[in-house]
Amino acid sequence: MPIRKPNFTPPFNIVRASHVEFGVRDLSASRAFYVDCLGYLITDDDPDAIYLRAVEERNHHSIVLRKATEPSIPALGYKVASEEDLDRAAFWFAHKGFPTSFPDIPYQGRTLRTCDLFGMPLDFYFRMDQADCMLRKYATYKGARIQRIDHLNCFTPDVQASYDFYTELGFRLTEYTETDGDNPQLWAVWMHRKGNVHDIAFTNGRGPRLHHIGVWTASALDILHICDVMASSGYLANMERGPGRHGISNAFFLYIRDPDGHRVELFTSDYLTVDPDFEPLRWGLHDAQRQTLWGHPAPKSWFEEGSPFTGVPVREPVLEAQPIVAR
């Protein structure tokens, strides 16, 4: 069986997925999309970058828009539980032969920069500058009224290998998709640290590439509202999939693309997974309700297009298997 027991004593303590950095070609266009349309708050900006947070977030940023010649993802960020955990993480990655460094990152404390087994760039930190939480200042709620970042979803060329790697780091499986037959193979996994369905998910495909970041809204009405906002403000074509509801995670969702093609999922209504005896839920690859409990099936772009990581080569997947695709 490809499923392993959870690792309750990982080498260091990861708290949650924290932030993502998007390389974008036009900061003005990205600002209009994320701030004017979606309603993100600007914490700081300069000629080369814009630092954004959602209304609930106390951390300085959960999205960084950085000027780049081509769209890419320079880093994915995770928060750890202590400064000592940073040292433990540095020791673990170095001992395993991964590159490690401690670059100066604006608005963050000491930050470990490394990568996973396929080169996906990872930043770990304990402290970040703080900003005012705007959760109770409802006049600041705009656009989709986004509350916080929730998860990262990536294409990987080998789901089993990625699952094994992140299980060793203490990520716990909540739901998974397998191929059918006598020798089932993992096609996708959803894994968490913070106690809901996922902080990271991996889907079979050309990778590593970022499929999307998931951001949390308080209700399905917020997602329906942003559909009206996008349709009436020039962003109708940026709506890629939804609204609808996943079978996996039970999430009510909408997938949108920013001006550079980076994908964002607005979602709500998943569930708690904190119990140590939680049993992961299995889905068959050809179960149509796994990806869409109701709503239109995912388009071909949703399975094939993603954001490359800066300077990281993309590999073909080891598993040849295809779920249901909308025509």
The phi, psi pair for 97, rounded to 5°, reads 90, 15
Q: Are 99 and 114 in contact (CB under 8 A)?
A: yes
State the CATH number of the domain containing residue 278: 3.10.180.10
Q: Which residues contact 177 (CB under 8 A, 6 or more apart)?
A: 186, 187, 188, 189, 248, 282, 283, 284, 285, 290, 323
Are 192 and 71 in a shared domain?
no
Parent domain of 273: 144-308
pLDDT in tens, 124-177: 999 999 999 999 999 999 999 999 999 999 999 999 999 999 999 999 999 999
Are 295 and 153 in a shared domain?
yes
Query: For residue 327, what pLDDT is reported?
Result: 47
pLDDT in tens, 13-31: 999 999 999 999 999 999 9
CA separation, residue 141 to residues 29, 39, 155 (Å):
21, 7, 32
Q: What percent of the chain has pLDDT over 90?
A: 91
Are 177 and 123 in a shared domain?
no
Are 31 and 92 in a shared domain?
yes
Q: Are 219 and 268 in contact (CB under 8 A)?
A: yes
Give the strand pairing for 263-268 and 252-257. antiparallel
Has residue 230 been placed in a domain?
A: yes
Rounded CA separation 18/12 (Å): 16
Given pLDDT bands bounded at 50, 70 and 90, which one contains residue 325? low
Query: For residue 181, what pLDDT is reported?
Result: 84
Whether the per-residue pLDDT at 326 is higher than 60: the answer is: no
Domains of the chain: total = 2
Are 152 and 34 in a shared domain?
no
Has residue 110 been placed in a domain?
A: yes
Q: Put residue 97 in one of left, alpha, beta given phi > 0 → left and psi -120 to 50 → alpha.
A: left
Are 123 and 160 in a shared domain?
no
Given pLDDT bands bounded at 50, 70 and 90, which one contains residue 182? confident
Query: For residue 105, what pLDDT is reported?
Result: 95
Are 148 and 124 in a shared domain?
no
pLDDT in tens, 266-316: 999 999 999 999 999 999 988 888 888 999 888 989 989 999 999 999 999
Are 85 and 218 in a shared domain?
no
Has residue 4 been placed in a domain?
A: no
Are 149 and 86 in a shared domain?
no
More confident residue, 180 or 53: 53
Are 163 and 299 in a shared domain?
yes
Has residue 237 been placed in a domain?
A: yes
pLDDT in tens, 140-155: 999 999 999 999 999 9
Has residue 78 been placed in a domain?
A: yes
